[in-house]
Amino acid sequence: MCDHAFELLDLPGGIQEQIKRCNSVYHVRFPVKIRGEYQVFEGWRACHSEHKLPTKGGIRYSPHANQEEVEALAALMSLKCAVVNVPFGGAKGALRIDPREYSVDELERITRRFALELIDKNYISPSLNVPAPDMGTSSREMAWIADTYKTLFPSDVNALACVTGKPLEMSGVDGRTEATGRGVQFGLQEFFRHQDLLEESGLYGGLTGKRIVLQGLGNVGFHAGKFLQEEDGAKIIAIIERDGAIVNENGLSVEQVAQHLHKSGGVRGFHDGTFVTDGKSILEADCDILIPAAMEGQVTSDNAHRIHAKLIAEAANGPVTYEADAILRANGKTIIPDLYLNAGGVTVSYFEWTKNLSRMRYGRMARRLMESRAEQAINALRTISGLELPPEIEASLQTPVNEINLVRSGLEDTMRLGFEEIHALFKAHDGISDLRTAAYVLALRKIAHYYLHYSI
Ligand code: GLU
């Protein structure tokens, strides 16, 4: 964790040690019969901090999963939640598996068995520990986990709140799938509202026309890229994927590249761009904004000094290593840190969890009232002016007050306020020279507050 942030906070002895490490980790091995043979799977669930309950964080499926990574990501979850004022402690889980090697039926049996192991030890519970999707998992795995929990506790009215990121028809929330990418968009929009930060990073104007290199067209990268392109007018000049990169200075259609990727398994052969086999070299391409939205550890001490982007927007968890961060800052690059920028997922998970506890969809109480108020306002304007309203104004006044719009509104509010807090600290504190340190100090201060005031 960021030692410099701890130095700035000057916490009493012991508190730093408490926050630096995970409170508990459960390591489990279990066998599942696959194609006539028993295979042993290894998984982890780490709780970083119970200063707020439940603890929260995704479960990833990856052949590279290991305990050290799970613990680091659990700590990052505590920080993320604190930065954007989502009242959860941090947790993370992982199963060491390459999901591409198994059928859907096998994955269901493996997931349900993993869930049983975690439920048995209270590492999945609506009030204590609530997983969500992460790399290699999606709403499908969350549905299996929720159903396993519900089967074990049929009379628990909060059973479905044991996991978030569920399908909509299984008490999920509208907007959860797009949430992390949407949060990246809101975070970038907020950055571009701050003239001082734009000047420091050598950028000017708005997002329109900004040249973006995007790494990863998974759930986060796809939605972030699509929204920035379609709604903010940014130009996605390169997309880096597993098999290489596709480059087009005139801008790529994120939607079309994603379709090609799903059909062919890669970006090679996409009709409207030049394919580059060494995809990672495109991280270094000349552009305004680099959005690493794939794996951790993509910008390292090996390539950091060759990064051309003025702004690095960390959509993935930990895409820039500690050493690379120092090199980038020394080279005058601005970084919007992961612990803030990709907090959109857990924010909307919070909305889903509270929806499950209340058992009511968003907008049910206020929707008709708010929509009829808008109608009345339009009619009043017509009557007073004797004119028709311009169609775009009328349409915006008639924005439906439905769940997706309320979720987006709550997410935008969360991302904007989170950024304001980071920015205010960044400006006020002489010892803080970058947004990551500001975000760390902000988050650690909030977490430490609990340990200082509520520990017996
Ligand atoms: N896996 C996501 C993350 O890393 C979401 C976590 C959650 O919603 O609990 O932020």
Predicted confidence (pLDDT) at residue 1 exceeds the cutoff of 80? no
Closest listed residue to residue 109, CA positions, set 163, 57, 35:
35
Q: Which long-range contacts (CB under 8 A, 24 or more apart) does 370-378 make?
A: 370/401, 371/398, 371/400, 371/401, 374/398, 374/399
Residue whose CB lies within 8 A of the most ligand 1 atoms, among 180, 223, 354, for a mutation test: 180
The tens digit of pLDDT for each residue in 125-168 reads: 999 999 999 999 999 999 999 999 999 999 999 999 999 999 99
Burial 410-445 (b: 16+ CB within 10 A, else e): bbbebbeebbebbbebbeeeeebebbbbbbbbbbbb
Predicted confidence (pLDDT) at residue 329 exceeds the cutoff of 70? yes
Place of tokens 């992961």: 338
Do the Cβ atoms of 353 and 164 come closer than 8 Å?
yes
Rg (alpha carbons) of the chain, rounded to whole number: 23
The tens digit of pLDDT for each residue in 293-325 reads: 999 999 999 999 999 999 999 999 999 999 999
Amino acid, single-letter form, for residue 98: D
Per the prediction, the chain carries an average pLDDT of 96
Pairing of strands 235-241, 244-247: antiparallel
Residue whose CB lies within 8 A of the most ligand 1 atoms, among 59, 296, 349, for a mutation test: 349
- Mean of the pLDDT values across residues 364-371? 95
Q: How far is the CA of 309 from the centre of ligand 1 (A)?
A: 27
Q: How far is the CA of 22 from the centre of ligand 1 (A)?
A: 17
| Ligand 1 in reach of 352 Cβ (< 6 A) | no
Closest listed residue to residue 366, CA positions, set 401, 317, 408:
401
Q: How many CA atoms lie within 13 A of 96 on its CB side?
A: 18
8-state DSSP, 99: G
Tokens of 17: 């040690």
The model carries a pTM of: 0.96
Residue whose CB lies within 8 A of the most ligand 1 atoms, among 123, 134, 223, 314, for a mutation test: 134
| Ligand 1 in reach of 178 Cβ (< 6 A) | no
Helix H or strand E segment including 157:
none
385 pLDDT band (50/70/90 cuts)?
very high
Task: For the beta carbon of residue 173, count every other beta carbon within 10 angstroms.
Answer: 26
Do the Cβ atoms of 8 and 446 come closer than 8 Å?
no
**Residue having the nearest C-alpha atom to atom 9 of ligand 1:** 57
Find the angle CA(423)-CA(134)-CA(261) to the nearest 5 degrees. 100
| Ligand 1 in reach of 314 Cβ (< 6 A) | no
Closest listed residue to residue 180, CA positions, set 373, 330, 346:
346
Tokens of 243: 């098999």
Atom of ligand 1 nearest to the CA of 60: 1
Query: Is 292 strand, coil or helix?
Result: strand
Q: How far apart (Å, rounded) are the C-alpha atoms in residues 188 and 195? A: 13
Predicted confidence (pLDDT) at residue 65 exceeds the cutoff of 70? yes
Q: How far apart (Å, rounded) are the C-alpha atoms in residues 325 and 301? A: 8
The tens digit of pLDDT for each residue in 256-287 reads: 999 999 999 999 999 999 999 999 999 999 99
**Residue having the nearest C-alpha atom to atom 8 of ligand 1:** 346
455 pLDDT band (50/70/90 cuts)?
low
| Ligand 1 in reach of 129 Cβ (< 6 A) | no
- Where in the sequence numbering do the catalytic residues fall? 92
| Ligand 1 in reach of 15 Cβ (< 6 A) | no
Do the Cβ atoms of 439 and 426 come closer than 8 Å?
no
232 pLDDT band (50/70/90 cuts)?
very high
